[in-house]
A and B are shown apart, each in its own frame.
Chain A
Amino acid sequence: MLELLRISKIFGGVQALVDVDFNVKKGEIAGLIGANGAGKTTLFSVITGFHAPTAGSVHFKGENVTGWKPYEICRKGLVRTFQVVRPFPRMTVLRNVAIGKLYGKVRLRDEKRAEREAYEILEFVGLVHKAHVAAAGLTMADRKRLELARSLATEPELLLLDEVLAGLTPAETVEAMNLVREINQRLGITIFMVEHVMKAVVGLCDRIMALHYGCKIAEGTPREIAGNPAVIEAYLGEELEI
């Protein structure tokens, strides 16, 4: 569904990504791990059109989407969330989600219908009781849910999640993991996720790629990744708790 061919990205003198190849298959949950500064978010930004790659190409549903604008990629059915969540703070939660319905892949013309369908999504992510609250007033956990809800409203086929679990309490993390699994299984949306919480990555993902200083150092099932010497080397000093 998503093919990355030898993606490189250079910022000034920093090589953020070096010849990264990866495929995400329809229906799976793929994971992306790596230490801070490994290039995970940069890779997501390249895939969704926020940065043009210095070299290489991005193919989505068989089409070369390299150099497309973020809104064009979104309308094709590929949407991302942001690691530092970016709600529209003065809009209500419902309105935030309705924007996705109005402008995403579905591009609804009817505002009433957009809000009705936005409401259904809020029910799905468990944020319906906050529908009429301004997004600025949400807790961090709820902001993460909103970020998810808004992305879902665009009706994506592939969803890139950039650390949706970071900053959550253990109980919230479990809830959020269940939500991610439901998005994948019930809604049939393919997921590619960046995550630091190893337990979550291992628990959720079918396949994982590990980045280190912009290079792919490993790819495989969670079990293979956890036993991979290069990964252990890169994570040395951090606990690999499974």
Chain B
Amino acid sequence: MVSRRGLVTGPFGIALLVLALLPRWTSDYHVSVVLDVLMWVAVTESWIILSGYTGYISLGHSAFFGLGAYIMAMTWPQLPFLLGIVLAGVLSSVFALTIGLVVFRVRGPYFVILTLGLTEFILHVVVNLEIKLGGTVGRILMSAPSLATLYYAMLATAAAAVVTAYVVKNSRFGAGLFSLKEDEKAASALGVNTTLQKWAAYGISAFFPGVVGAIMALRHSYIDPYNAFDPMVSFQVIVMAFLGGMEEVEGAVVGAVLLTLVSEALWASYPYYYMIILGVIMIVTVKFMPLGLVAPFKGRLLARAADGSGAGA
């Protein structure tokens, strides 16, 4: 019988292997589509670490994405690629930890609006800085690494995000996050330092969008504040997380894959339909399967695995 660990790591390992070999088999077009999918997997996984596990819904993850993109734009090509993306992630976390000292003073809808507002604020700061410094708002990134390099970097980022979300969820730290999501006052009465927990989750959560932003800046080889800090990134991440299940590591993957493929099919020719579909998916998910696509299947599978190992022992 399959153990719980086997059930978790088996498919993950196989998927990783297939994805690693992908550039050998397919065209650049397919590789770039999968690159997009991996980008959303990484951002959605990081989003659930904060918002899925604590219930503090962030509508501001595009800020970290944009920040990462700008850090890459400013350091490329003086810094080596790997150093640049790690730096983007680290500075993104540092930024989150800084604003994290303030943003958790509010909760519920106020937190959602505050994170959205902060992103808009940063966007306008960057626009004004760029005009002051360079006279224009766009930046071109010359001599970007090959598609394959960017692809492997994104694959590693997505894999790291999945592993991080999994480890956090199953750790003592994760138990604390889930307890404060359920009842913050009760959690603090039982010894959970809720302020520290949320703050740390925010810092972890901001790392991956920073890295992803840096990689995507090189992928597009041109950035301006409006596409780097596009609030659509934040909206899309939320729909992906809700669709798959915002407390499930697998859910973030399922949501990201499904929605990226839908967008790939529709975005180019029918952009407005895509926006409508996004809205419809959001409403249907919240109304009819608030736990997302994955949760019902997963409960059953894990129960069976647990029974199996019990019978074997």
- Which A residues lie at the B interface, using CB under 8 A? 48, 50, 69-71, 74-75, 79-80, 82, 86-91, 95, 98-100, 102-105, 107, 109, 111, 150-151, 153-154
B313 to chain A, nearest CB (A): 15
Q: Given A88-B182, A88-B183, A104–B172 Cβ distance below 8 Å?
A: no
- Chain B residues lying within 8 Å of A89, measured Cβ to Cβ, are 182-183
Interface of B is mostly: helix
The answer, among A69, A99, A109, for a CB contact under 8 Å with B187, is A99
Select the stretch in B23-31, B113-121, B188-196, B202-210 that faces chain A.
B188-196
The answer, among A48, A90, A95, for a CB contact under 8 Å with B189, is A48
Q: Is the CB of A99 within 8 A of B176?
A: yes
Q: Given A109-B172, A111-B172, A111-B175, A103–B185 Cβ distance below 8 Å?
A: no
Taking A71-B190, A79-B189, A154-B191 as given, write out 11 further A-B residue pairs in contact, using a Cβ cutoff of 8 Å, ordered by the A residue number.
A70-B189, A79-B190, A79-B191, A82-B189, A88-B182, A91-B182, A95-B175, A99-B190, A103-B179, A105-B191, A150-B190
- The reply on B16 being an interface residue by CB < 8 A is no
Q: Given A91-B178, A111-B175, A154–B190 Cβ distance below 8 Å?
A: yes
- The reply on B186 being an interface residue by CB < 8 A is yes
5 closest A-B pairs by CB: A88-B182, A86-B186, A103-B191, A74-B191, A104-B191
The residue on B at minimum CB distance from A95 is B175
- Chain B residues lying within 8 Å of A105, measured Cβ to Cβ, are 191
A222 CA / B183 CA spacing, docked (Å): 36
Show 6 A/B contacts (Cβ-Cβ < 8 Å), sorted by A. A88-B182, A91-B182, A99-B179, A99-B192, A100-B191, A151-B190
- Chain B residues lying within 8 Å of A87, measured Cβ to Cβ, are 183, 186
Q: Is the CB of A102 within 8 A of B188?
A: no
Pick from B176, B187, B189 the residue with the most CB of A within 10 Å.
B189
The residue on B at minimum CB distance from A79 is B189
Pick from A70, A91, A111, A153 the residue with the most CB of B within 10 Å.
A70
The residue on A at minimum CB distance from B190 is A100
Q: Is the CB of A99 within 8 A of B175?
A: yes
Q: Given A88-B182, A89-B182, A80–B176 Cβ distance below 8 Å?
A: no
Pick from A50, A75, A102 the residue with the most CB of B within 10 Å.
A102
- Chain A residues lying within 8 Å of B187, measured Cβ to Cβ, are 88, 99, 103
- Chain B residues lying within 8 Å of A88, measured Cβ to Cβ, are 178-179, 182-183, 186-187
The residue on B at minimum CB distance from A103 is B191
A98 CA / B190 CA spacing, docked (Å): 10
- Which B residues lie at the A interface, using CB under 8 A? 172, 175-176, 178-179, 182-183, 185-194
Q: Given A69-B193, A75-B191, A102–B182 Cβ distance below 8 Å?
A: no
Q: Is the CB of B191 within 8 A of A71?
A: yes
A91 CA / B176 CA spacing, docked (Å): 12
A214 CA / B182 CA spacing, docked (Å): 32
A96 CA / B187 CA spacing, docked (Å): 10
Pick from B182, B187, B194 the residue with the most CB of A within 10 Å.
B182
The residue on A at minimum CB distance from B193 is A71
A48 CA / B190 CA spacing, docked (Å): 11
- Chain A residues lying within 8 Å of B185, measured Cβ to Cβ, are 50, 82, 86
- Chain B residues lying within 8 Å of A82, measured Cβ to Cβ, are 185-186, 189
B227 to chain A, nearest CB (A): 39
The residue on B at minimum CB distance from A153 is B190
The residue on B at minimum CB distance from A99 is B179
Q: Given A91-B178, A99-B176, A111-B175, A69–B183 Cβ distance below 8 Å?
A: no
A109 CA / B172 CA spacing, docked (Å): 7
- Chain A residues lying within 8 Å of B191, measured Cβ to Cβ, are 71, 74-75, 79, 100, 103-105, 107, 154
A86 CA / B180 CA spacing, docked (Å): 11
A95 CA / B170 CA spacing, docked (Å): 12
- Chain B residues lying within 8 Å of A71, measured Cβ to Cβ, are 188-194
A3 CA / B100 CA spacing, docked (Å): 36
- Chain B residues lying within 8 Å of A95, measured Cβ to Cβ, are 175
Q: Given A88-B179, A91-B179, A91-B182, A74–B190 Cβ distance below 8 Å?
A: yes
A92 CA / B43 CA spacing, docked (Å): 30
A56 to chain B, nearest CB (A): 21
A91 CA / B182 CA spacing, docked (Å): 8
A79 CA / B188 CA spacing, docked (Å): 10
- Chain A residues lying within 8 Å of B183, measured Cβ to Cβ, are 86-89
A145 CA / B1 CA spacing, docked (Å): 38
The residue on A at minimum CB distance from B247 is A90
A69 CA / B187 CA spacing, docked (Å): 12
- Chain A residues lying within 8 Å of B188, measured Cβ to Cβ, are 69-71, 74
- Chain B residues lying within 8 Å of A111, measured Cβ to Cβ, are 172, 175
A154 to chain B, nearest CB (A): 6
A86 CA / B183 CA spacing, docked (Å): 7
